[in-house]
Amino acid sequence: MATKPISLRVAEEVKLDLEQIARRFGTSAATLGADFVTQGVRASKHPSVELRQTPIGRMAYIRGVRLPVWLALETLEDSQGNANKAARLLQLPVLLLKAALAYAQEFPEEIAADRAAGRQSAEELERLVPNHSFIRV
């Protein structure tokens, strides 16, 4: 993705906090600041979607529920593209589902990666979580 520089001014204490958080994340204040701006822009454009930190990285969820955007998309496909049916299945307002789909359309590669992660095989799960017994039914 191509990037462009911008210059902005923040309060001194904000700059200090940003630098401290960046050190914790093992990155630079500029990189983290750019990431925060990007998140803020996304949140403004897609207020019904929130980005949550997970063990596999940041993932888009529908705001207010435990439903990642990629799973909403799966349900829509299970419903042959019928948004009203999918929304009833998910017990979501259809407008919220459509907002999630708008996000998925804007960031298709991100959602495709999330979907791929959601289809981990049992063998992959066993590698990820050793010393566990997996029972298949």
Partner 1 sequence: MPTSPADVAKAVKRLSPQADIQHVSSWQEGAYINAADDVLLEACWQERRALVSKDRATLPGWIALRVADNRPHGGVLFYDLERFKANQIGALAKAIVAALVATGGI
Contact residues: partner 1, CB under 8 A: 52, 54-56, 59, 64-66, 68, 70-71, 74-75, 78-79, 85-86, 88-91, 114, 117-120, 125, 128-132, 135, 137
Residue 73 dihedral angles phi and psi, to the nearest 5°: -65, -40
Rounded distance, CA 28 to CA 4, Å? Answer: 17
Minimum CB separation from partner 1 for residue 49, in Å?
A: 14
Cβ-based nearer residue to partner 1, 11 or 129: 129
Alpha-carbon distance values, 62 to 16, 32, 47, 82, 116 (Å): 32, 24, 9, 18, 18
Q: Among all chains, which residue has been given the structure tokens 């960031």?
A: 107
Structure tokens belonging to residue 136: 């298949």
Minimum CB separation from partner 1 for residue 5, in Å?
A: 34
Cβ-based nearer residue to partner 1, 7 or 121: 121
Q: Which residues contact 127 (CB under 8 A, 6 or more apart)?
A: none
Cβ-based nearer residue to partner 1, 23 or 58: 58
Minimum CB separation from partner 1 for residue 61, in Å?
A: 9
Alpha-carbon distance values, 50 to 5, 15, 137 (Å): 25, 24, 34
